[in-house]
Each structure stands twice: as C-alpha cells, then as structure tokens.
Chains A and B, each alone.
Chain A
C-alpha cells in the first residue's frame, strides 16, 4: 500500500490482492476515509502505532513514516476482516 503512487491506488491494490475482486467506488471511499482518520490519529500520538508496528516479519526503519504505515496496517486489517475477503462470492 505504501509503495503505490497514492493512497487510493494503494488501497484498491491491497483490496484486490486480499478479496480477489476490484474494489467498488463506495468501498474505496470508506477505506480512504478510514486511512485518513487513522493517519491523523497516529500522527497526533505516535505511541499508538507501537502495537501495529511491532507485529510482523519486517522491521520498520527510523526514517519510515510510522503514522502512515500504521494507518495502512489498520486498513489492511479491516479489509482482511471484511466479508469480501473471507467469503469469495
């Protein structure tokens, strides 16, 4: 998600990889709004990113935008828990 040219493209790409179908405009609006709110939240309080960034196989470097990566992680987690990912219809 972080590698994409912009957030919406990144979310759409992640959604396709996890759910196996293209994201709809409405779904993209919901997730982009979530990403933005989470980013603002993490940016205000970087401590909140701790649990999200300590999980996983890749270590975050000091130069990475922690708020952005944590916000993307929340979005990815939301997609993974959505019905679209759990049940292929």
Chain B
C-alpha cells in the first residue's frame, strides 16, 4: 500500500504521529462520502418523522449535512423517542426489597441461613465478610399494590406509590460489584475501574449539542452531601475528547468555577486574548498534531460562551411561583436536591441533552425505618 499517497500535507515530523494523521485523513474521506450519500436518504426519512429540528422535506442536501455533521458520529441510526434526559442518581440507594421489589418469601424464611444457591461463590462485602452466620431477614416495611398496574410499593415511598402507572420498574438488574465506588463507577461508565467515559459523555460524543452556548452534559451535585463520596470521574469523559466531559455546576455565586473575568476586563477583552491563545495552540497543533489540543481549545470557547449563558440559565428570579410550588420550598435554596431538579428542568428547556443529578446520603444499612 502506498503510504504517501494523498498525504502531501502532513503537519508532524514525528513518524508515529504521521501514521495517525494518515489514518485520520482516510477516515475523514470515508466519513464525508458515506455520510453524504446516507444523509440524503436519512433526510427524507427524518423529514417525515420530524425527529430532528432543522431537517424538513424542503431541506437542501447542504442543510441536511449541516444537521447531520453536528456531532462526531452523524445522526443516530434510528429516530429516538427520548430527546433529553434527566438522570437522578441517589448515591447509596436503599435496597430494592425495601422499596418496590416485594419478597414475601423472606418473611417465611426469616432467620434461616442464606442458601448456597443464593451465595453461590459470590464475594462478601467488607461489612458482612466477618459474620459467622448469614441469616435471612425480610423487609421491615409494609407493601401494598397501587395503580392500574398493581405495582408493589412499600410504605417507605408514600408519594411515589401514587404515580406508579407512570413509572417503569426494572427488576432484572444484577451486578458483581459489591462495594460503593466500583459499583457507582460501573453504573456510570460500564466498567468498575475508572477511565471509561460516563454515559453522558457518550451521548455528547454521539449526538452532539442542541445549544452551542451550553455543554451537552451537565452534572449537578447536591450541596452538603454526606455519606459515600462522589468523584469527578463519574462524569468524566474517559478516553473520549475532553470537551465531552460533564461540566459540574455548583450552588452559590459562581455555578461554574473559573468563568469570571478580572474586574473591568470584559467579554471583548477576553475574546481578544482567546484569539491569541487559539493562534498559539494552532502552532502547537502544527508541531505535534495532537487532536486533544483542538479539544482543549473548544473547551475554552465553551467557557467563553458560558460566561453569558450560565448567569442567564441559573437566574431563577423570573421563575413563576407555581413552578416553585411544584418543586417544593427547598427549590428556592440553591444547591439543594429540589433546586437542582428545577435547574435541570431549566437546562433542558435551553436544549441541554443530558443533566445528571447526584444526591448523597442514601446509603442504608440499619435503622431503615427511622432514616
């Protein structure tokens, strides 16, 4: 195979990087041509389904391609039902057998030793590993059936039991991760070891952004969190370009850190400086050819846009009273779970695709009734 064909403009002098450049060049060509043909067909399909804003029956090929190329992978291969997601993560959630997974048999077997068919070689947690006996214990909550679906819900969730027909209960989940940190990491990234992209990062990478002034993936962590710790890698981009990492919002004066300009140095001044920074980084790209440099630059551009968009979206002064009533009194107190739920709603209204809320303090081991 001819290695130098079509690669007259290699920017790097390093042989390894040149090889990567050649691959990227070929991939770029294939992507452009195959997507170009596919987009025309998809455009007519999607035009009918109105799944994507910006593509209609009258759209030109150029317009379709513009929407199509908005993200790294092109459009999804099917018209999605869900357009945006709010993911509520109650860290250390109580056991399903105390909430919605009714297990009456446990009452019959109360006190008996956990049968080998259940343990079947599984590891024990640090807390139960030293126990001399592993007796069966039923839930201490009362269960009833609710709604047309007759879903079983315990009296630990009196309000949720009123809306069971709107909920989907998944009772087939299982894991071999028995400790908090690897379990949460597994849940968010698909692997117990840190280093893989969070689900929101995949969405950002695969589907792109609907609002170029806000990140596609935002993480909101409730203030004053206690209990099992959280860490930023849970909303990290892993091996994907860094622009796809979840941007964490904080409560208080600066929702996003390091966005504010020095006093009296306004947006236009910062724009000038960023243009020079961009120029400087372009020289670095020319020398080393690492796509991560461009990725970092797009993060600076996003930060610049967020200087305007964040104060606007986090301003709750014009929020109507009935919205606060819906979300409860706590929603007026920035950084609470309720306030973050309201914030997630506002972010979705602005076109953010994926907002993930983290709320600590749900780790349950004993005194469940009181907690």
Contact = CB atoms under 8 A, between A and B. Distances in A.
A26 B285 CA distance: 13
Interface in A23-41: 24, 26-27, 30-31, 33-34, 37-38, 41
Contacts of A47: 264
A82 B281 CA distance: 6
Given A74-B273, A81-B300, A52 B280 contact: no
B272 A50 contact: no
How many A residues are at the interface, by size bracket? 20 to 34
B265 A82 contact: no
B279 interface: yes
B269 interface: yes
Interface residues of B, number: 22
B263 interface: yes
A51 B283 contact: no
B64 to A, nearest CB: 35
Contacts of B300: 81
A17 interface: no
Interface string A1-41: 00000000000000000000000101100110110011001
Contacts, number: 64
B276 interface: yes
Contacts of B202: none
Nearest to A34: B276
B261 A51 contact: yes
The main secondary structure of chain B at its interface with chain A is helix
B296 interface: yes
A8 to B, nearest CB: 15
A51 B281 contact: no
B89 interface: no
The main secondary structure of chain A at its interface with chain B is helix
B262 A50 contact: yes
A48 B264 contact: yes
A41 B277 contact: no
Nearest to A52: B262
A30 B327 CA distance: 52
B263 A26 contact: no
Given A48-B264, A83-B293, A77 B273 contact: yes
A41 B269 contact: yes
Contacts of A87: 290, 292
B268 to A, nearest CB: 10
Contacts of A54: 262-263
Given A30-B279, A78-B276, A89-B288, 13 more contacts: A34-B272, A34-B273, A37-B272, A50-B262, A51-B261, A51-B262, A51-B263, A51-B265, A52-B265, A79-B280, A81-B300, A82-B280, A83-B290
Interface of B: 261-265, 269, 272-273, 276-277, 279-281, 283-285, 288, 290, 292-293, 296, 300
